[in-house]
Every structure is written in structure tokens, then in C-alpha cells.
Chains A and B, each alone.
Chain A
Amino acid sequence: MNPVNYLYLAALLFTIGASGVLIRRNAIVVFMCIELMLNACNLALVAFSRIHGNLDGQIIAFFTMVVAAAEVVIGLAIIVSLFRSRHSASVDDASLMKL
């Protein structure tokens, strides 16, 4: 199977994720969309690895996973404390950082 198709899939997944981040208000969904973008990147990296016939892309994908895991921990903690204090998971409600 032509590995370029995986790149098309990765681009599609990334676009879906990016649109979700921009459009959805619910913090959990936004968060999931970020995960989607990260995994789209991973898919692209693995595909590049395959195309070029070396392991560089796969190694970077591992790094991405580690970063994503750390991000999940912190991100979910923020969302939980946000929900506790405001009883809402909407990202638009947390708009205090403005003039």
C-alpha cells in the first residue's frame, strides 16, 4: 500500500483536531481534539519513517507520546479544578485574562 495515503489520513485527522479546538467550547472535547492532532502528527512521523526507510520518525513519535502523556496529566488536572471552581467545563467561561 502506498505510504503516502497515511499522510493524507494524518492531514485529515489533524484538520479535524484543529477544527475541533477552534470550534468546540467544552474543555474535554477541546482536549480530545488536541490529542487527535498529536496522534495525527505521530501517524505522519511513522509514515515518514517508512517512506525514508530509517527509524528517525519513529523515535520522534516516542518523544511525542511522552510529551502527550505529561500534557494529559496536567491538562486534566486543570480541567478538573476549573470545573470544581466554576461548575462548567466551557473554555469561554474561563476568560478572565483580559482587560
Chain B
Amino acid sequence: MENLIALLVAAPLLGAAVLLCGGRRLDRAGHWIGTVLAAASFVIGVVLFTGMLGKGAEDRALHQHLFSWIPVEGFQADVAFQLDQLSMTFVLLITGVGTLIHIYSIGYMEHDERRRRFFGYLNLFLAAMLVLVIADNYLLLYVGWEGVGLASYLLIGFWQHKPSAATAAKKAFLVNRVGDMGLSIAIMLMFTTFGTFAFGPVLGATGDTSEGKLTAIGLMLLLAACGKSAQVPLQSWLGDAMEGPTPVSALIHAATMVTAGVYLIVRSGAIFDAAPDAQLAVVIVGAVTLLFGAVVGCAKDDIKKALAGSTMSQIGYMILAAGLGPVGYVFAIMHLVTHGFFKAGLFLGAGSVMHGMNDEVDMRKYGGLRKYMPVTFVTFGLGYLAIIGFPGLSGFFSKDMIIEAAFAKGGTQGWILGCVTLLGAGITAFYMTRVMLLTFFGEKRWQPDAEGHEPHPHESPKSMTVPMIVLAFGSVFAGGFFSIGDRFMHWLEPVTGHDHGHAPVSAATVTAATMVVLVIGAAIAWAMYGRRPVPAVAPRGSLLTRAARRDLLQDDFNHVVLVRGGEHLTRSLVYVDHTLVDGVVNGTAATMGGLSGRLRKLQNGYARSYAVSMFGGAAVLIAATLLMRAV
């Protein structure tokens, strides 16, 4: 059984190697190779999963030691995999959603002449993401972490002929680099503190380590999570990342890669549990991002950017839950999985709409599409109901749990966090209803484009609708399936632990309150966008709307503080370099040059003058000797 673990990674890695090195002769079969290998990885995952279910809860974890990577005295880096319940959950999500999105991409990328390369990158992403979640030590996790960063960069910039895509890819890469720095520092700190970076020894030894060190490690891990999961303050790249093809946005920037930060925090739970300050920082980051993303999502007219704001906000929920400690770990992962279903479904739906609308992304130019795209409408609608937390659908269970857990944090903190998550749920209902109304309801608002082509909205091919239908099933039933008898909790409990906490209000009250804010949010959206016609050009809007359209000024902030600040810093450094450092160096050189220019006049070539110096020198030496004797 253990030997299958490496195959999980090997299948997509082989696909990436074959597709990226194979050249043009694979153009016609490339997408099938990629899809089959992704599906193979999923099948292996299912086999391992069934094997795992057959065992007792405590001995389900599998280990596979592949080889010693860097064996040095006192420094042991292994390529070893660990597949426990947490990793298994991720493996199934990654390979399952990944396979669906491979199938979807066959249709979506049909007219792209670089489709083979696209599938190669997708397979590369799957391999890296699987390494990330099944690594048994932080160093190997870092390999996967960088691998998904690379795949993300390549895929955001897949249409690199568009300058905006190329810039977005670079931006994502650079912002992620800041987070990666945090992870590498955390790993170094771990090595100096624990002498190893394998999960078992590190997480088992947190009891005997000083809290200060654990707080430092925790904060660095949080920085890493912020970068990868687009949390404030490293959130700015996610909106631009929507320049990539839509399947990429669905797989990488909604369902899997951006949740790597949540995985990292839940995996390192023992460190955060022992460092309350770091844990508090996690909660704050989650709460801020959850509102930040939701507000941005309300103002965007670009359907993908609205969904990107929503992703940011939902991951904020997960980070917040992960920061609550054992009360929230299970719900963070549960929301992650259900979010993987419905957000991937929503993105695929958005891709399907764009596919039928000549790649138009402005929702103000959609309207009334439910008649033209019934399948997309239904699947998108189910995803919509799931994300706002409509009773009985996936999001209802997972989000409700997080809100309850936030209240259960206790004290003033609990009330603040509970209200923030409730408010977030209301805003979620608002912006998602807005997306829904703008896209599928109302009058048709599309116009012929500059070349006079009028879009002919049409339903997408089977290869695209089938994955959407499957994901819609997940969006509807996953949450309920997980919650019946607390299945998901019992499944993850051996890894993450669970604590019920003490909720100040009953679960029913929280659910009722959630329903109330949900209805209010949706009603406001309906009043603004459903009841009256939508202008084709966005009105100026309030100060907040305008700020939210500019991503709440995040880029302006980065520009003023980081870019300008950096420029000023470098300029002053250059000035110091030119005046002070160069001054000293050049001054010394000039003095030496002048001195030797004078000294070289002694070298006049006349043997007799050399003889004079010799005689003079000898005379001085003798005189000095005699003088010393006399004294």
C-alpha cells in the first residue's frame, strides 16, 4: 500500500515531463495524456483511501521513505511521504477537482494552439501540489510549495502575448516570494530549534520549547500562508491572477493552491497551539481578509475578479477557523473542501459564460443568460446557493460551523469574531446575488464588439458541462454528507484534534442569525440589481465603491509604500555609495597615484643618482648605528 504513495506524484510528473519535452508531435494527443494521468492519480488516491477506511482511526497514516536527499552529519533531509487523513483529504480534492478541470480544459482550450503545453503545466501543478500535501517534512513541503508557485506563474502568464497577463504572472510570483521567504525562515528556525524538520519530531517537541521561538516560527509560517493564500497584507496578486485561463483560476486560484496556506497552518497546529500570540495574529489576518475580500467582491464588474474577491474572503474564513485552534481546524478543512467544490464550479461556470460570450468578462454586458445557457445557469446557481450558505447545501454546513466556532472562542474576542463572520456571510450573500442577477437575470445587455461581431450566447460542449455538473453535485451534497453524524470530524480528529469549545449562544441561534443576514444581503442585492435595470456603464458610486473597485487601494498602497519607498531607499543608498564609499576608495587611489607620480621622478635612469641614494642610505645607516652605540 505504501508504495502507491509515490505513484500519486509520479503519474502527473510523468505527464508534465512527456508533454513539455515531447514537442509538437504530441499536439494532437497531449490533452488526453494529461487528463488520463491526472485521472490515474485520482484512481490511486481512491484506492489508498479505501485501504485507509479499512483500518482503525489511529493507524491509518501511511509512510513511505523514498530516498535520502541530503544526508550530512547532523543534517538529514529525506524525500519521504506521509499520508494521513489530512493529506488524504487534500489528495482526493486535488486529484478529483484536478481531473474534472483537465476534462473541462479539453473543451475550453480547444482553439488554443498551445493546448499541449497547457496540460503539461496543469500536470506539473498537480505533481507539485501533491508533493506539498504528502511531504512528511517541511523541507520537502517547501519543494512542493515552490513547485506550485512556479506552475501558478506559468499558468497565469499562459497567454504571455498579453502584457497584462505577463505582468500579472510576475506580480503573483514576486508577492509569493515574500511569503516564501517567511516559509524558508520558518524552516531555518525549526532546524536551529529542533535540529530537524520532519513533522513528527517538530510538532511533537513543541511542549519543551520556549514560547518566543514558537511565536517566531508561527509568525513566519503565517507570512508564508499569507503569500500563498492571498491574505492581507500579501493579497494583491490574486485579483490580477485572473488573467490566466479560467480553468487555471478554478483549479489553482480557487480550489487548491491558494488553500495551501490553510493546510500549512492546520498541519503546524501544534506550533500555533503553543504560541497564542501567533495564533491571534492568524485570526486577525483571517478576519481582516474575510471582510476585505468580500468588500472587493461587491464592487467588481469583471465576473472573475468578483469571484476572486470571494475566494479571498472564503479563504479568510478558513484561516480564521484555523487560527481558532482545535475548535476550528476541522471546520477550516471542511470549508476548504466544500469551497473547493462550489468555487471551482462557479469559476467553471464563469468560464462557460465567457466561452459563449466571446471572452467578455464584464458582467454589465451579460444579462438574461439563463435562457441561452441552461446547464451553466443551473450549475452556477447551485454553486451560488452553496456559497451563500443556503440551508441544506454544502456552504451552509461548513460556514455555519466556522461562525459557531468563532463565537465559541469566548470573551470579547469571540463576540467580535462571531460578528465579523456573520457580517461576512451577509456580504457574501450580497455580492454573489449580484453576480447571479447581473449574469443570468434581467434584460440582455450585450452589444456588438468593435468589429461588429454580435456575441451568440450558447451552451458549452459536453466536456465542459459534465465537470460543472459533477462539481454542482459536490456543492449540493458534500456539506451534508460530511456533517451527518459528524463524519468529517471523526475522520480528521486523530490528526488535528477537536475541541467543542463553549459557545455563548446556542447553535440554533447562530444558524438563525446567519439566515437573517443572508436574506438581508440577498434582498439588498435584489433591490439594487434585480428590481431596476442595470446601467451598461458602471455609475460613479460612493467613495467606498470606488475604493473597492481599485481593490481597496491595495496597489496604490503597495506603490506608495513599497515601490516609492524602495525607490527612495535605493536612491539614498546609491547616493551614499557614490559619495561616501566611492569617495573613500577613489580618494585613497588618487592619493596613492599622486604620491607615486612624485616618487617615480626618482627613477631617472641615471646610474650615478642611484649610487648617490645608495651612498646616502649607507651613510645614514652607519650614522644611525653609531648613534645607537653612543647612546
Question: Distance (Å) between the CB of B342 and the closest chain A CB?
Answer: 85
Q: Are A22 and B612 in contact (CB under 8 A)?
A: yes
Q: Are A99 and B600 in contact (CB under 8 A)?
A: yes
Q: Are A96 and B605 in contact (CB under 8 A)?
A: yes
Count of chain B residues with Cβ under 8 Å from any Cβ of A?
10
Complex contacts, A25 vs chain B, CB 8 Å: 608
Is B604 an interface position by the 8 A CB rule?
yes
Complex contacts, A92 vs chain B, CB 8 Å: 606, 608
Question: Distance (Å) between the CB of B618 and the closest chain A CB?
Answer: 10
Question: Distance (Å) between the CB of A34 and the closest chain B CB?
Answer: 10
Q: Are B608 and A22 in contact (CB under 8 A)?
A: yes
Is B607 an interface position by the 8 A CB rule?
yes
Question: Distance (Å) between the CB of A25 and the closest chain B CB?
Answer: 8
Distance in angstroms between the alpha carbons of A30 and B607 in the assembled complex: 11
Distance in angstroms between the alpha carbons of A99 and B600 in the assembled complex: 8
Count of chain A residues with Cβ under 8 Å from any Cβ of B?
14
Is B50 an interface position by the 8 A CB rule?
no
Is A21 an interface position by the 8 A CB rule?
yes
Complex contacts, B608 vs chain A, CB 8 Å: 21-23, 25, 30, 91-92
Q: Are A95 and B604 in contact (CB under 8 A)?
A: yes
List the count of A-B residue pairs having beta carbons below 8 Å apart. 28
Is A18 an interface position by the 8 A CB rule?
yes
Complex interface residues of chain B between 428 and 459 (CB less than 8 A to chain A): none
Complex interface residues of chain B between 584 and 631 (CB less than 8 A to chain A): 600, 603-608, 611-612, 615
Question: Distance (Å) between the CB of B594 and the closest chain A CB?
Answer: 15
Question: Distance (Å) between the CB of A4 and the closest chain B CB?
Answer: 18
Majority-rule SS of A interface residues: loop
Q: Are B615 and A98 in contact (CB under 8 A)?
A: no
Question: Distance (Å) between the CB of B428 and the closest chain A CB?
Answer: 84
Complex interface residues of chain A between 49 and 99 (CB less than 8 A to chain B): 91-92, 94-99
**Given A22-B612, A99-B600: A91 and B605 interface contact (C-beta under 8 Å):** no
Q: Are A22 and B607 in contact (CB under 8 A)?
A: no
Which listed residue, B604, B607, B615, touches A91 by the CB 8 Å rule?
B607
Which listed residue, B600, B606, B611, B615, touches A95 by the CB 8 Å rule?
B606
Complex contacts, A91 vs chain B, CB 8 Å: 606-608
Question: Distance (Å) between the CB of A74 and the closest chain B CB?
Answer: 15
Question: Distance (Å) between the CB of A32 and the closest chain B CB?
Answer: 15
Q: Are A98 and B604 in contact (CB under 8 A)?
A: yes
Which listed residue, B603, B606, B611, B612, touches A99 by the CB 8 Å rule?
B603
* Chain B residue at minimum C-beta to C-beta distance from A18: B615
Complex contacts, A22 vs chain B, CB 8 Å: 608, 611-612, 615
Complex contacts, B611 vs chain A, CB 8 Å: 21-22
A-B residue pairs, 8 tightest by C-beta: A95-B605, A98-B605, A91-B607, A97-B605, A98-B603, A95-B606, A98-B604, A99-B600
- Chain B interface residues toward A at CB < 8 A: 600, 603-608, 611-612, 615
